[in-house]
C-alpha cells in the first residue's frame, strides 16, 4: 500500500521562504495558505507576489517625470535615528512650534511674511478656507472651479471648509468686473477671492482671465492656489533661460510679488520635495491658519518636515539643479538621453544577442506630470522594443515601468536615472529571452 506524501511542516516551509526577505510571521502565514491550497511548490511564488504588494523601488521609464502613481517627485532623504527639535525651542528650552523651522525658510524663498506646512495641497486649501472664510463668501471663476486627480473638486473642498462658493464669470472668460460685482452684491459677505490654477487641463481660444495683480486691487484678500509648486518662474537654479515648457506656469515668488495675500502649493511636484502642502503669505493670515483646530489634524510629522527643510536649504544653497532629482531629469541634454539609450541598445545587441531589427532609439516627448504644465512636453529619447513587454519588465528584480503604443514598448530616458541603465539592460534581456 502506497503511503501518500505528507506536506512539509508549516515551520519548515516558512523557513524556506526566508529568501523572499519577508518577516518570519508573514512567511508562516503564506506557508499555511500554500499547504491548505495543496500548493506547496507554489509557496515561493506566493511569497514573491506578496512582497510585490508592498511599497517597492521601481525604475520610472514612462517619460512622465512626476508620475502620481509612482510617488511624484523622486526623493532621497536620510536622517539619523535621533531626537530632533520638532516642537522644541533651543534658545528658551521651552516648547516651540513645528512650523517655525521650515516656515521661515519658505518665507525667505518666496518673499512672503510667513509660511506653514500641512500634509498636502488639498489640506492647505481646506485649512486656509476654514480659517479665513468659514461662513462667508468666496468668489471663484467658473473656469477655475475644477476637479483634479483623486476626485479633488474645488467646490466640494470649499463646502467642507464651511465657506460659500460664488461662481463668477464664465468657463472661458472672467474679468475683474465679475469679481467686483460679486463683492458689491447686496447680501454677500466676501471673505476673500480665490484664484485656482486649473492644473491638469487648459482652455484655449476665446479666453480671458484675471491676473493676481488685478485681483490685488480689490478690497478683500486674494488667495492663490498655484498647485504644482514652481518656486520661481525665473528658475534661477538652472543655467540659461527658463525652459519653454514652463511658460505660463504660476510660481510662488511671482504670486507673492504680484500681491497675493496667501498662496498654497504642493511640495512633491515642481518643488521636487516630499508630499506636503505649503502655505505662504501675510503674517496675520498665516497666524489665523496656525491657530485653527484643523491645523493640528493636518500637520506633517518630523520626517516630512526634515525632508522639506532639506529641500528648502538645497534651493537656498543654489544646488537644486544637481541635488533635486526632478530638476536633474529636466536639465539633462537630449544628447545625453540619446547616448544613454544607445548604450542600452548596444549592450542588448552585443552582449545578449538581441536582434537589432527589434530595438531602436527614437525621439519622444516627455511630460512634467502630476498636473504640472498641462498640455506641454519636453524633447526626449526612448529605447523602443518591438512587442508588449510591460508584464515582463514589471517582473524584473527592480521593476521597470514603461509604456506601450502600437504593440511596441517605449522606455523614455528622461525619467530614468543614469545609474539604472544596467538594471534596464538586465530587465530587457530577460524579457526578450522569454518571448
HSE (side-chain half, CA atoms, 13 Å) at 144: 27
Give the per-residue pLDDT at 4.
57
Q: Quote the pTM value.
A: 0.92
**What are the residues whose beta carbons fall under 8 Å from the beta carbon of 228, sequence distance 6 or more?**
197, 199, 249, 250, 265, 266, 269, 270, 368, 370, 371, 372, 373
Give the per-residue pLDDT at 292.
97
Fold of 100-323: 3.40.640
Each of the 435 residues of the chain gets a pLDDT tens digit; together they read 454 567 789 999 999 999 999 999 999 999 999 999 999 999 999 999 999 999 999 999 999 999 999 999 998 888 889 999 999 999 999 999 999 999 999 999 999 999 999 999 999 999 999 999 999 999 999 888 877 665 667 888 888 889 999 999 887 888 999 999 999 999 999 999 999 987 666 667 666 789 999 999 999 999 999 988 899 999 999 988 898 888 888 999 999 999 999 999 999 999 999 999 999 999 999 999 999 999 999 999 999 999 999 999 999 999 999 999 999 999 999 999 999 999 999 999 999 999 999 999 999 999 988 766 667 889 999 999 999 999 999 999 999 999 999 999 999 999 999 999 999 999 999 999 865
According to DSSP, the residues that pair with 265 across neighbouring strands are 227, 278
The grid coordinates of residue 408 equal 511596441
Q: Give the residue ranges of DSSP H helices in 17-74.
A: 24-36, 43-51
- Radius of gyration (C-alpha) of the chain in whole angstroms: 26
HSE (side-chain half, CA atoms, 13 Å) at 270: 25
Buried residues in 387-404 as b, exposed as e (16+ CB within 10 A): ebbeebbbbbeeebbbbe
**What are the residues whose beta carbons fall under 8 Å from the beta carbon of 388, sequence distance 6 or more?**
404, 407, 408, 409
Give the per-residue pLDDT at 1.
47
Give the per-residue pLDDT at 381.
97
Q: Do 15 and 29 contact (CB within 8 A), yes or no?
A: no
pLDDT digits (tens, 9 = 90+) for 183-194: 999 999 999 999
Q: What DSSP element (H or E) covers 82?
A: none
Q: How far apart are CA 346 and CA 352, in angstroms?
A: 9
Q: How far apart are CA 227 and CA 263, in angstroms?
A: 9
Q: Do 319 and 238 contact (CB within 8 A), yes or no?
A: no
Torsion of CA 302, 304, 308, 310, to 10 degrees: 60
Q: What DSSP element (H or E) covers 118?
A: strand 114-118
Is 139 exposed, middle or buried, given 0-12, 13-18 or 19+ CB atoms closer than 10 A? buried
pLDDT digits (tens, 9 = 90+) for 232-265: 999 999 988 898 888 888 999 999 999 999 999 9
The grid coordinates of residue 268 equal 512633491
Ramachandran angles phi, psi of 434, nearest 5°: -95, 10
Fold of 59-73+329-433: 3.90.1150
Amino acid at each position: 500500500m502506497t503511503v501518500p506524501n505528507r506536506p512539509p511542516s508549516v515551520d519548515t516551509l516558512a523557513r524556506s521562504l526566508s529568501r523572499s526577505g519577508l518577516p518570519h510571521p508573514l512567511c508562516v502565514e503564506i506557508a499555511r495558505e500554500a499547504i491548505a491550497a495543496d500548493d506547496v511548490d507554489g509557496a515561493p511564488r506566493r511569497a514573491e507576489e506578496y512582497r510585490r504588494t508592498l511599497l517597492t523601488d521601481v525604475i520610472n521609464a514612462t517619460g512622465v517625470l512626476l508620475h502620481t502613481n509612482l510617488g511624484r517627485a523622486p526623493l532621497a532623504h536620510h536622517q539619523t535615528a535621533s531626537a530632533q527639535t520638532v516642537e522644541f525651542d533651543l534658545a528658551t528650552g521651552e516648547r516651540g512650534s513645528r512650523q517655525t523651522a521650515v516656515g521661515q525658510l519658505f518665507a525667505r524663498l518666496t518673499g512672503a511674511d510667513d509660511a506653514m506646512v500641512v500634509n498636502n495641497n488639498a489640506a492647505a486649501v481646506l485649512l486656509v478656507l476654514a480659517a479665513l472664510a468659514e461662513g462667508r463668501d468666496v468668489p471663484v471663476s467658473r473656469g477655475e472651479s475644477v476637479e483634479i486627480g483623486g476626485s479633488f473638486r474645488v467646490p466640494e473642498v470649499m463646502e467642507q471648509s464651511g465657506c460659500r462658493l460664488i461662481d463668477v464669470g464664465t468657463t472661458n472668460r472672467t474679468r475683474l468686473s465679475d469679481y467686483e460685482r460679486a463683492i458689491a452684491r447686496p447680501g454677500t459677505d466676501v471673505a476673500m477671492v480665490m484664484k485656482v490654477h486649473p492644473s491638469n487641463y487648459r482652455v484655449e481660444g476665446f479666453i480671458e482671465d484675471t491676473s493676481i495683480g488685478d485681483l490685488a486691487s480689490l478690497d478683500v484678500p486674494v488667495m492663490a492656489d498655484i498647485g504644482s509648486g514652481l518656486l520661481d518662474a525665473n528658475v534661477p537654479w538652472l543655467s540659461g533661460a527658463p525652459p519653454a515648457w514652463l511658460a505660463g506656469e504660476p510660481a510662488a515668488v511671482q504670486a507673492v510679488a504680484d500681491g497675493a495675500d496667501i498662496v498654497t502649493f504642493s511640495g512633491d511636484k515642481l518643488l521636487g520635495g516630499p508630499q506636503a502642502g505649503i502655505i505662504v503669505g501675510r503674517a496675520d493670515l498665516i497666524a489665523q491658519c496656525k491657530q485653527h483646530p484643523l491645523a493640528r489634524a493636518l500637520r506633517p510629522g518630523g520626517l516630512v518636515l526634515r525632508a522639506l527643510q532639506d529641500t528648502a536649504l538645497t534651493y537656498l544653497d543654489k544646488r537644486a539643479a544637481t541635488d533635486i532629482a526632478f530638476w536633474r531629469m529636466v536639465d539633462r541634454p537630449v544628447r545625453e538621453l540619446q547616448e544613454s539609450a544607445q548604450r542600452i541598445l548596444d549592450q542588448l545587441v552585443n552582449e545578449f544577442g538581441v536582434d537589432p531589427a527589434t530595438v531602436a532609439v527614437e525621439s519622444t516627448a516627455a511630460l512634467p506630470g502630476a498636473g504640472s504644465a498641462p498640455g506641454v512636453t519636453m524633447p526626449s529619447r526612448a529605447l523602443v522594443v518591438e512587442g508588449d513587454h510591460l508584464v515582463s519588465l514589471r517582473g524584473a528584480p527592480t521593476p521597470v515601468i514603461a509604456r506601450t503604443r502600437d504593440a511596441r514598448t517605449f522606455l523614455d530616458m528622461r525619467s530614468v536615472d543614469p545609474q539604472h541603465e544596467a538594471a534596464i539592460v538586465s530587465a530587457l534581456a530577460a524579457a526578450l529571452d522569454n518571448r
